[in-house]
Structure 1
Amino acid sequence: MENIIHVKSVSEYTELRGAEVLHPLVNVLDYEKLRFLEPASYNFGFYCVFLKETKCGDLKYGKETYDYQEESLVFVAPGQVLTVQKYNTDVKPKGKVLIFHPDFVRGTTLGNIINDYSFFSYAVNEALHLSKKEVTMVLDMFNIIENELKQNIDKHSKTLVISHLQLLLNYCTRFYDRQFITREHANKGILERFESVLNSYFTDNKTEKGLPSVSFIAEELNLSANYFGDLIRKEMGISAQEYIQNKVISIAKERIFDVEKSISQVAYELGFKYPQHFNRLFKKKVGITPLEYRNLN
């Protein structure tokens, strides 16, 4: 089994990189002044926002490798494992990393909504690629937070840092929305593959595993579940789960007319564990029960 190095605190990571601990729970580090991490797998106990301005090495998250191009943001949530594979020793790394522990935002407005920033669970190959203008904005916010941490701590310090941190994350949400739009061609390919995976799920009798889940489809498409879900919502205006349910109902409408099969048999064939769950979903989507639908036609 691969050894994983657990880095539990902001201070531990800061010292590992040879930097100054500005605050035990939050820090901003400059890549040009940091020691390289040894190639290994790391499990961080805190949130990370990596801003890479140069291509300097490979990161691996799960099965996917992201070879950094210029101007990218990668987000890491506590408990995720990143594998540092190698460094390009000919290139001086440039960029910054913002790290903050969950305890820093716990009990605050940001702490209550931190899970809403779903990009913290995206894979590294789903990084946010920034324009020159966006890089400047992100750097400005990094610098404001860093400067605040270098001030003498007073009763306003935490409030100000959290306010700017939340502002940064809100802008990143906007930037990701822009990226979903500007990558329309690539997104169309994903949607076509999504439909293909769904169709084969039912035609290849994979329903014995149950109904197709969002996580299953995302894995088939080599995407993280959160990125896939956000993409579908942006492109289709509905959740991935709702899209799957609509597909199930569409197929159900065809199979219900096979009078040789009971409604329960149709439900099992579609992957429902219990026929009553099928009846409930069908009525919710169509307005009548499967049996009523069969009798109407």
Structure 2
Amino acid sequence: MNEILKLDNIFQYNDMMGQETLHPLVSVVDFSKCKPMLHSLQRFGFYAVFLKDVKCGDIRYGRNYYDYQEGTLVFLAPGQVVGIVNNGEYFQPKGWALLFHPDLIRGTSLVREMKNYTFFSYESNEALHLSEQERKVILDCFHNIESELQHAIDKHSKTLIVNNIELFLNYCVRFYDRQFITRSHVNKDILTRFENLLNDYFQSEKPQIIGLPSVQYCADSLHLSPNYFGDLIKKETGNSAQEYIQAKLIGVAKDRIFDTSLSVSEIAYSLGFKYPQHFSRLFKQKVGVTPNEYRMRN
């Protein structure tokens, strides 16, 4: 088994790559200036964004492997594992990395915004694939941060560095939106699979065994991370994944309410509710009347 190298601070990573540490909490790394090294699996204690300029084999990202193509951005949150299994051969890394420690953004507006950059929790196959123009924008952002790091640290340094990081992340949001659009045919396929997944789920005994289908369950079944899955469904339908699931559930419930041989409690249990009153409360919230009232009206 390959040992996982734990890198808790920026200095450790820079030292491993043979780079000077200009700031203890942030670094921009040009891999072409780094020394040849062996592949390894690494766990970071900081945020990391990697831009690879060459195809370099199967990179392990979390629990999965990914064929790392040219012009790809991958985002890592603290605690995630990334790397390539060591084959004993040295290689010259190419590309760029932006690293920043959570302590850098504490007390800034960016710390409150980080939850909105959901791509830090995407899986490897949901990486951001850049156009040539987008790649230039990203490199400009890296160069701007690097230029600020070259400046002597003063009272303005943190604000300017954090602002540039936030600008970079906002560009990534824009480029991901573009990727969702340009991969619309793929997204439509996922939406169809999601719909079929819910249909099969409610036609099976899974609701009685597992309970109500969760976003996590659906994402896992479709081999997507919950954040990417949620973002995709939101962009394709305008509703959150949870809202989509609830809409499907209410649709199935309405069909079953027409079967007068079933009590409302039996319908609730068949849908995965532990308590019938929870079903009645959700139904009234979504439809405007209780299940019994809906049955009487129809």
- Shared fold per TM-score greater than 0.5: yes
Kept in 2, the 8 Å contact 1:7–1:43? The answer is: yes
CA spacing shift, 1:82–1:91, aligned 2, 3 Å: closer
1:140-219 equivalences in 2 (<5 Å) = 140-207=140-207, 208-219=209-220
Match of 2:60 in 1: 60
Whichever residue aligns with residue 155 of structure 2, its letter is K
The corresponding residue for 1:224 is 225
Contact kept in structure 1, 2:212 and 2:273, CA below 8 Å: yes
Secondary structure in structure 1 of the residue aligned to 2:70: coil
User: Counterpart of 1:255?
Assistant: 256
Q: Secondary structure at the match of 2:85?
A: strand
1:18, CA displacement in angstroms? 1.8
1:200 and 1:254 map into 2 onto residues whose CA distance is 15
Corresponding position of 2:272: 271
Q: Distance in 2 between matches of 1:36 and 1:218?
A: 39
Match of 1:236 in 2: 237
SS in 1 for 2:22: coil
Q: CA deviation at 1:67?
A: 0.8
The reply to whether residue 118 of structure 1 matches residue 124 of structure 2 is no
The residue type paired with residue 221 of structure 2 is E
Amino acid at match of 1:81: V
For residue 131 of structure 1, what is the amino acid of its counterpart? S
Gaps of 5+ in 2: none
Gap regions ≥5 residues in structure 1: none
Aligned to 2:127: 127
Mapped contact 1:28–1:96 kept (Cα < 8 A)? yes
Aligned-pair CA distance for 1:205: 1.3
Q: CA deviation at 1:273?
A: 1.9
Kept in 2: contact 1:49–1:97 (CA 8 A): yes
SS at match of 1:20: coil
| Aligned residue pairs, count | 297
Summarize the Cα distance change of 1:194–1:258 in structure 2 as closer, same or farther, 3 Å threshold.
same
Alpha carbons 2:35, 2:92 under 8 Å: kept: no
Verify the 8 A CA contact 1:73 1:129 in the aligned structure 2. Answer: yes
> Distance between the aligned counterparts of 2:176 and 2:23, measured in 1?
29
* CA deviations over 1:241-280 (Å, ceiling 9, x no partner): 1000000000000111222222111111101122122111
Superposition TM-score, scaled by structure 1 size? 0.94
Deviation of 1:204 after TM superposition, in Å, equals 2.0
**Counterpart of 1:96?**
96
| Structure 1 consecutive aligned stretches of length 4 or more whose deviation exceeds 6 Å | 87-91
* Partner residue in 2 for 1:84: 84
Give the % identical residues.
57
Larger deviation, residues 172-181 vs 280-289: 280-289
Residues 36 and 91, structure 2, Cα contact 8 Å, conserved in 1: no
8 Å CA contact retained: 1:7, 1:45: yes
The equivalent of 2:70 in structure 1 is 70
Instruction: Find the aligned partners of 2:226 and 2:72 in 1 and give their Cα distance.
Output: 21
2:285 maps to amino acid: K
Taking the aligned partners of 1:195 and 1:170, their CA distance within structure 2 comes to: 31
- The alpha-carbon deviation at position 55 of structure 1 amounts to 0.8
1:18 matched to 2:21: no
Structure 2 SS opposite 1:97: strand
Residue matched to 2:291: 290
Greater alpha carbon shift after TM alignment, 192-201 vs 82-91: 82-91
User: For 1:18 and 1:112, how far apart are their aligned partners in 2?
Assistant: 33
CA contact (8 A) 1:57 1:85 kept: no
Indicate conservation of the 8 Å contact 1:51/1:97, yes or no: yes
TM-score normalised over the length of structure 2:
0.94
| DSSP-derived class of the 1:75 partner | strand
Secondary structure of the structure 1 residue equivalent to 2:84: strand
Deviations 1:141-187 (A, max 9, x none): 10110111111111111110011100000010000000000001111
